[in-house]
Chains A and B, each alone.
Chain A
Amino acid sequence: MQVAGNDTLGHHSQVIIQYFFAGGDMSAKQKQDAGITHEGIFFAQEQLHEMHDQMLFIRRFEEKAGQMYGLKKIGGFCHLCNGQEAVCVGMQHAAEATDYMMTSYRDHGHILARGSDPTAVMAELLGRAGGVVKGKGGSMHMFDADKNFAGGNGIVGEQVPIGLGFGFSSWYKEDGRVTICIMGDGGINQGAVYESFNMAALWKLPIVFMVENNQYAMGTSLDRASAETQLFKRGISFKIPGMKIDGMDVLEFEKKMSEAIEHARSGKGPILVEAMTYRYRGHSMSDPATYRTREEVDEWRTGRDPIARLQAQMIEAGLATEDSFKQKDRDIKKEVAAIAKAAEAQPEPDAAELWTDIYTDPIEGAYPYPGKVG
């Protein structure tokens, strides 16, 4: 079990870590208590706290983004992932830092969970110079090459052939990396996805195709768009095994995702994971989401919320208290507010940035040359 290194989102208490690693002094009983065993997999409390804090951080970050959008500080399209945090976080805990990852425009939660600097992510939303992509991408186009996070793609399904290429590269270089290629329940209907499934299976590429089934593609519910609504079966005719995972349970998701990643890494070829999840907010900021009932939203929001669920498990295991979570929430809210303030204080990109990053080798003397037109 590998814990993705994550300084910016890790808020676990030093005290707890020391207690846990004091190992030798603890009785066998105490050792067992310092964590949760989920279906045979032991999650140390240090990791549980980290997962919890990361999910809560993403939730509060997205709420802040929603607020900033309301204040017209964030422009254009802005797709929040409230409700889907367990998928973002569980996946990162299952993956290695060297594994590749790419997704659609609903990318804030994924890049945050990947460990990118949240101030840079917020700055990107605000179109600031210190944004993860220097203010050139915005909400839909977040990239962090150092973290092997390859976007942030606004064309539905486009990242899937690109992910195929990352997987191909690992096969070509034999570098042992796995590519986790994420798409939505709407995105999985693109033809490019099946072209990619076919080649990935044909060449046994190390790819986990992961569909975030949040049940809606904009206003179109799954059953109105898909002849086969069991999306994990969509790989069958390519001989790609499928797994359906509860994406509202971070421990379950981490466990199953680890198995899927292991499958891909071991040379068995691609695997398709269907993460059952739900977005609490509208598709984007302009969507009042009138196509679904309040009851349905409540059923997921109050009945299956991934953060509340982990909190209950941790309290039951004696790893935290309601008060300690409340305190944590206050701390995270403060942190997010400070991040938003710091991001907003940044300048807009320099006007000269308009013309950079178009070519690696622009050709002097030929037309058009970036920045020299006319």
Chain B
Amino acid sequence: MSKITYREALNQAMAEEMSRDKNVFLMGEEVAEYNGAYKVSQGLLDKFGPKRVIDTPITELGFAGLGVGAAMTGLRPVIEFMTWNFAMLALDQIVNAAAKMKYMSGGQYSVPMVFRGAGGSAARVGAQHSQSLENWMANVPGLKVVMPSNPADAKGLLKASIRDNDTVVFIENEINYGDVGEVPDEEYIIPLGKADVKRAGSDVTIVAHSRMTGFALTAAKELAKEGIEAEIIDPRTIRPLDENTIITSVAKTNCAVVVEEGWRFAGIGAEISARIMERAFDDLDSPVIRVTGKDVPMPYAANLEALALPSVRDIVEAARTACGRA
């Protein structure tokens, strides 16, 4: 095991996959000479040269489509969006091209590629640079959506995503980039579609992904002081969702809280709550509670920004209510 950052873990994943497969290339804004806007691609240009680590103009729709076309010819593009906010300009290629190409072509063309970059709320950057849009992506058949919450998962999941034969939307978290965690020294892959129980507990199931996993783990410590043992599940892959791990947990705890940074309406929490209702209704002692971002564009002022986001306290309170200990 080595202690490395989330950012370094992603970097190692790309470096290892690029060494393994010459068809893998990295393309995006500032990925090469600048070493990445968030330094995720640090050193890759030196290691792999300008043919495989390519700086683009600021042209998201264009280079997203370039990735789709290249993938259709058998290359394995890793397309970096500086942040997912900017991927909105490329939605046509992600949703209308990448996700549907295999189906529309009757299986003749597949699009094995990764769209990756920072998502979720950032700090003090206002409404356009701070939002969670994974539910948009997770709604689309043909896409897989992956969101790691720690360095070890980031590395193993990114390697799996690059090797995957479908289009993977890989959403990193800007605030987590500097987080340090233990990462295995030997090569490993974390399969897509597998949740991870980050903390075992018998009183309440808390499902949380990306940065909210860390919030939930902190909340679990608070709850433990009160004698409430929370089970924390990180789906890691949002689509397709390892719902069996969630359902199994709910069968044990009989209540659940679903946490997400994004907006409430038609969010990931809505989907997970619905699945718990559909598959584990009889196991529930209380309604599933959602903890979500507030239904507002992200404000700039520090106090307002804090109010807009889910807090550890919100999770603690929701957990208490869910298991009847409020």
- Do residues A137 and B106 form an inter-chain contact, with CB atoms below 8 A? yes
Which residues of B lie under 8 Å from residue A141 when comparing CB positions?
104-105
Q: Tell which of B57, B65, B239, B278 touches A164, judged by Cβ atoms closer than 8 Å.
A: B65
In the assembled complex, 10 residue pairs joining A and B whose CB atoms fall closer than 8 Å, in A order, are A136-B103, A143-B108, A150-B69, A150-B72, A162-B68, A164-B66, A165-B68, A192-B92, A358-B102, A365-B242
**Given A161-B63, A195-B62, 20 further pairs, Cβ under 8 A:** A141-B104, A143-B109, A161-B93, A164-B66, A165-B68, A165-B72, A166-B73, A167-B69, A169-B73, A195-B57, A195-B61, A199-B63, A202-B57, A357-B107, A358-B141, A359-B142, A360-B110, A363-B191, A366-B241, A367-B241
Chain B, Cβ-Cβ closest to A132: B106
With contacts A158-B93, A360-B166 taken as known, whether A150 is within 8 angstroms of B109 at the C-beta atoms is yes
With contacts A145-B105, A155-B92 taken as known, whether A161 is within 8 angstroms of B240 at the C-beta atoms is no
With contacts A169-B73, A172-B75, A367-B275 taken as known, whether A162 is within 8 angstroms of B107 at the C-beta atoms is no
Which residues of A lie under 8 Å from residue B165 when comparing CB positions?
360-361
- Do residues A199 and B243 form an inter-chain contact, with CB atoms below 8 A? no
- Do residues B97 and A158 form an inter-chain contact, with CB atoms below 8 A? yes
- Do residues B70 and A196 form an inter-chain contact, with CB atoms below 8 A? no
Give Cα distance in the complex from A195 to B61, angstroms.
8
- Do residues A145 and B96 form an inter-chain contact, with CB atoms below 8 A? no
- Tell me if A368 counts as interface (CB < 8 A to partner B): yes
CB distance from B246 to the nearest CB of A (A): 10
Chain B, Cβ-Cβ closest to A205: B66
- Tell me if B19 counts as interface (CB < 8 A to partner A): no
- Tell me if B286 counts as interface (CB < 8 A to partner A): no
- Tell me if B128 counts as interface (CB < 8 A to partner A): no
Chain A, Cβ-Cβ closest to B27: A168
- Tell me if B233 counts as interface (CB < 8 A to partner A): no
Chain A, range 161-183, C-beta contacts under 8 Å to B: 161-170, 172-173
Give Cα distance in the complex from A365 to B242, angstroms.
7
- Do residues B62 and A198 form an inter-chain contact, with CB atoms below 8 A? yes
Which residues of B lie under 8 Å from residue A246 when comparing CB positions?
none
- Do residues B72 and A367 form an inter-chain contact, with CB atoms below 8 A? no
Chain B, range 98-137, C-beta contacts under 8 Å to A: 101-110, 112
CB distance from B190 to the nearest CB of A (A): 13
- Tell me if B214 counts as interface (CB < 8 A to partner A): no
Which residues of B lie under 8 Å from residue A357 when comparing CB positions?
102-103, 105-107
With contacts A360-B166, A367-B241 taken as known, whether A162 is within 8 angstroms of B97 at the C-beta atoms is yes
Give Cα distance in the complex from A141 to B164, angstroms.
25
Which residues of B lie under 8 Å from residue A346 when comparing CB positions?
none
Chain A, Cβ-Cβ closest to B278: A374
Q: Tell which of B64, B108, B241 touches A133, judged by Cβ atoms closer than 8 Å.
A: B108
Which residues of B lie under 8 Å from residue A370 when comparing CB positions?
141
- Tell me if A131 counts as interface (CB < 8 A to partner B): yes
Which residues of A lie under 8 Å from residue B107 when comparing CB positions?
134, 356-357
Q: Tell which of B59, B72, B142, B144 touches A166, judged by Cβ atoms closer than 8 Å.
A: B72
Which residues of A lie under 8 Å from residue B74 when comparing CB positions?
169
- Tell me if B244 counts as interface (CB < 8 A to partner A): yes
Which residues of A lie under 8 Å from residue B62 when comparing CB positions?
161, 164, 192, 195-196, 198-199
With contacts A357-B107, A359-B102 taken as known, whether A366 is within 8 angstroms of B242 at the C-beta atoms is yes
Give Cα distance in the complex from A46 to B4, angstroms.
68
- Tell me if B237 counts as interface (CB < 8 A to partner A): yes
Question: How large, as a class, is the contact surface on chain A?
Answer: 35 or more
- Tell me if B25 counts as interface (CB < 8 A to partner A): yes
- Do residues B108 and A144 form an inter-chain contact, with CB atoms below 8 A? yes
- Tell me if A369 counts as interface (CB < 8 A to partner B): yes
- Do residues B110 and A158 form an inter-chain contact, with CB atoms below 8 A? no
CB distance from A317 to the nearest CB of B (A): 41
Which residues of B lie under 8 Å from residue A362 when comparing CB positions?
240
CB distance from B3 to the nearest CB of A (A): 31
Which residues of B lie under 8 Å from residue A133 when comparing CB positions?
104-106, 108
CB distance from B189 to the nearest CB of A (A): 13
- Do residues A165 and B192 form an inter-chain contact, with CB atoms below 8 A? no
CB distance from B100 to the nearest CB of A (A): 9
CB distance from A140 to the nearest CB of B (A): 9
Chain B, Cβ-Cβ closest to A155: B96
Give Cα distance in the complex from A367 to B240, angstroms.
5
With contacts A155-B92, A195-B61 taken as known, whether A169 is within 8 angstroms of B243 at the C-beta atoms is no
Interface string of A193-220 (1 = CB under 8 A from B): 0011011001000000000000000000
Give Cα distance in the complex from A195 to B93, angstroms.
13
Chain B, range 240-291, C-beta contacts under 8 Å to A: 240-244, 275, 278
Chain B, range 45-79, C-beta contacts under 8 Å to A: 51, 56-57, 59, 61-75, 77
Q: Tell which of B61, B77, B241, B242 touches A161, judged by Cβ atoms closer than 8 Å.
A: B61
Give Cα distance in the complex from A161 to B56, angstroms.
13
With contacts A162-B97, A358-B103, A363-B193 taken as known, whether A198 is within 8 angstroms of B59 at the C-beta atoms is yes
Give Cα distance in the complex from A361 to B281, angstroms.
31
Give Cα distance in the complex from A137 to B61, angstroms.
23
- Do residues A164 and B69 form an inter-chain contact, with CB atoms below 8 A? yes
